[in-house]
Amino acid sequence: MNTLRQNIAAQKADLDRLRPLSPQGLRNLEHVVDLELTYTSNAIEGNTLTASETMLVIEKGITIGGKPLKDHLEAIDHHEAIAYVRDLAGHTDPLTEFDIRTLHGLILKRSQPEQAGRYADQGRFVLTDAGRHGFPSPAEVPALMGSFAAWLVNAPNTPDTAFSAHRQLVGIHPFNDGNGRTARLLMNLILIRGGYPPVAVRPVDRLAYIQALQDAESGRGADAFNRLLMERLHATLGEYLTALRQALHAR
């Protein structure tokens, strides 16, 4: 893990040396990354659209035959939520509880408007290898979110903060649905603010990702979770550096 952190620090230093980043060099890459973030985050939650179908829905407004309307709406909602994340990342104001609820509201804007931005009003449970796991009751959520938001105010924009924020928000599970998507976008918002690229948890990572979250929630530690996301950050930094260097050489 120490070697991985050192490699990420070296990549981040290389990225910082390329700043200010060329808008031309980033425009296409960020567009593709935002499509990937939409596809992967929704797929983790069971959305049936493929990567290419997600692209068609967002770029062309095409309806994919045989796929649920909800899956189309989730793709549009998530992509718009990423635009909000990128805009918010450009500001220096501390992140607030309102920002998190707004982010959740955008994620469910079309697919579940009655729940968008609203805290849970029912129990939330998940089946794990260790048995049924219950999240905090709806009555506990406002106070827990207030404490979480207070922690965010002074937390530095680092990968460790981003990954911890993800785990904490999933642990509170403040919404009836959309908790994972909100947590992943909050994580990426913090990464972008810190000068890092956003990371996608791919469908191939799903089993390891869920198991790592369950380990953290059950008190077995966050090492596996942090390693998985550090590995994804390392890979994504490499992709960004390659794309930016290619753009520089093409001038």
Task: Specify the DSSP class assigned to residue 250.
Answer: T
Cα distance between residue 111 and residue 69, in whole Å? 8
Say which of 72, 173, 234, 249 is annotated catalytic: 173
Name the token pair of 195: 């000068």
Cα distance between residue 125 and residue 164, in whole Å? 21
CA-to-CA separations, 200 to 102, 178, 181, in angstroms, rounded: 21, 16, 11
What is the number of other CB atoms lying within 10 angstroms of the CB of residue 23? 9
Is 173 noted as a catalytic residue in this protein?
yes
Burial classification of residue 15, based on how many CB atoms lie within 10 Å of its CB (0-12 exposed, 13-18 middle, 19 or more buried): middle
- The residues carrying an active-site annotation are 173
